[in-house]
């Protein structure tokens, strides 16, 4: 006979990290914004558990999305959770790890978390889930671009935080059209909210880069990328490329390369390069993307997002 005093039940334990990130946002890797989802990092639990993402509405926790995992899977890995209920997006969300056996019902996105379920949470953490939009169009300058010049403009919007400050840095591409993430050719001043035609001032960082030399002349592909300000810089302050961290951008398969991005061809110093007699870009590629990344519709599909049309999560356009 087993003595009850000899039976030891392991207490349920869990941990996670939930960092600020974007979703449903511009990416040079596709002609469409990323699919609405979030990445919850370092998720661990010693029991089969649900990773539940919520937002607050009238004092209640409403489920934006959830996914269930076995204890074997919850070994500190990053877990992707689709955001199927977007009523709280963009804005603050909370990720929770909860034992499946302690859920008070079969939850679905849009449901309110019961008090019983809330008391069973093993770990949770809040983060801001942003929506970032970039419109970086093909542009032409009549003269070669020197360091310190304005090389181009970009439309940039960041929604979800209370006046969260950000900059748009611009990266060069290599001879094969690949993003050179460690090199920069310029940046905007510090921005907040919605911005049209923000000027990109050139600066070579690092000074011995392989693909970011000035003066720049001819045509090449560049990638604009949102970086979030993490110090006391105010809107309008000048910034240098690489000063601030990249804002991660979650899609259906996890974080996409580069975060919130858009690509464009910039032509300088030769008005006839890649242009018709009237100076407009004729392009050799039917999709208008130019010779860079092999993501044909990215420029055409994303460049207009920074103007009057915003892509809604339900797939419709809102003027």
Count the domains in the chain: 2
User: What pLDDT score was predicted for residue 162?
Assistant: 80
Query: In this prediction, what percent of the chain has a pLDDT beyond 90?
Result: 78
212 inside domain: yes
Within this chain, do residues 77 and 50 fall inside the same structural domain, yes or no? yes
Domain enclosing residue 59, as ranges:
12-131
Within this chain, do residues 247 and 126 fall inside the same structural domain, yes or no? no
CATH number of the domain where residue 121 is located: 2.60.40.10
44 inside domain: yes
- Check if the beta carbon of residue 241 is closer than 8 Å to that of residue 225: no
Answer with the one of 93, 110, 131 that is the final residue of a domain. Answer: 131
The mean pLDDT value for 254-280 works out to: 75
88 inside domain: yes
170 inside domain: yes
Is the per-residue pLDDT at 76 higher than 60? yes
pTM here? 0.81
Number of Cβ within 10 Å of residue 217's Cβ equals 15
Answer with the one of 131, 165, 196 that is the final residue of a domain. Answer: 131
Within this chain, do residues 179 and 51 fall inside the same structural domain, yes or no? no
Is the per-residue pLDDT at 179 higher than 90? yes
Band the pLDDT of 279: cuts 50, 70, 90: very low
Within this chain, do residues 125 and 170 fall inside the same structural domain, yes or no? no
User: What pLDDT score was predicted for residue 318?
Assistant: 39
User: What pLDDT score was predicted for residue 227?
Assistant: 98
- Terminal alpha carbon distance of the chain: 73
Band the pLDDT of 161: cuts 50, 70, 90: confident
What is the Cα 295 distance to its own chain's centre?
Answer: 17
82 inside domain: yes
**Distance between CA atoms of residues 29 and 63, nearest Å:** 29
Is the per-residue pLDDT at 175 higher than 90? no
Mean pLDDT of the chain: 86
The mean pLDDT value for 227-247 works out to: 96
The mean pLDDT value for 22-28 works out to: 97
286 inside domain: yes
Query: In this prediction, what percent of the chain has a pLDDT beyond 70?
Result: 82
Within this chain, do residues 24 and 52 fall inside the same structural domain, yes or no? yes
Answer with the one of 84, 116, 131 that is the final residue of a domain. Answer: 131
Within this chain, do residues 126 and 149 fall inside the same structural domain, yes or no? no
Within this chain, do residues 258 and 160 fall inside the same structural domain, yes or no? yes
Within this chain, do residues 35 and 140 fall inside the same structural domain, yes or no? no
183: its two tokens = 């090199």
Question: 198: closest CA among 242, 144, 235, 146?
Answer: 235
Within this chain, do residues 150 and 285 fall inside the same structural domain, yes or no? yes
277 inside domain: yes
Within this chain, do residues 190 and 268 fall inside the same structural domain, yes or no? yes
Question: 28: closest CA among 305, 298, 318, 304?
Answer: 298
**Distance between CA atoms of residues 119 and 111, nearest Å:** 16
Within this chain, do residues 124 and 70 fall inside the same structural domain, yes or no? yes
Within this chain, do residues 124 and 154 fall inside the same structural domain, yes or no? no
């Amino acid at each position: 006979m087993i003595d009850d005093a000899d039976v030891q039940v392991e207490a349920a334990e869990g941990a996670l990290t939930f960092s600020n990130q974007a979703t449903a946002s511009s990416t040079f890797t596709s002609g469409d914004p990323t699919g609405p989802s979030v990445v919850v990092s370092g998720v661990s639990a010693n029991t089969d558990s649900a990773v539940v993402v919520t937002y607050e509405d009238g004092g209640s926790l409403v489920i934006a999305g959830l996914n269930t995992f076995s204890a074997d899977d919850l070994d500190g890995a990053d877990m992707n959770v689709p955001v199927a209920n977007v009523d709280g997006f963009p804005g603050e969300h909370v990720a929770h790890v909860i034992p499946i056996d302690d859920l008070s019902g079969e939850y679905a996105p849009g449901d309110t978390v019961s008090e019983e379920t809330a008391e069973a949470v093993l770990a949770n953490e809040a983060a801001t889930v942003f929506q970032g939009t970039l419109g970086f169009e093909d542009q032409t300058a009549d003269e070669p671009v020197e360091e310190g010049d304005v090389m181009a403009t970009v439309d940039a919007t960041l929604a979800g935080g209370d006046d969260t400050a950000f900059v748009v840095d611009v990266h060069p591409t290599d001879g094969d059209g690949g993003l050179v993430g460690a090199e920069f050719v310029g940046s905007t001043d510090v921005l907040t909210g919605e911005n049209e035609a923000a000027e990109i001032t050139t600066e070579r960082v690092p000074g011995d880069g392989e693909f970011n030399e000035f003066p720049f002349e001819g045509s090449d592909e560049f990638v604009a990328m949102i970086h979030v300000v993490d110090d006391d810089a105010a809107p309008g302050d000048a910034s240098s490329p690489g000063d601030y961290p990249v804002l991660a951008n979650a899609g259906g398969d996890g974080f996409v390369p580069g975060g919130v991005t858009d690509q464009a061809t910039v032509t300088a110093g030769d008005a006839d390069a890649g242009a018709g007699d009237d100076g407009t870009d004729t392009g050799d590629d039917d999709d208008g993307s130019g010779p860079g990344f092999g993501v044909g519709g990215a420029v055409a599909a994303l460049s207009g997002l920074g103007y009057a049309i915003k892509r809604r999560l339900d797939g419709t356009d809102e003027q």
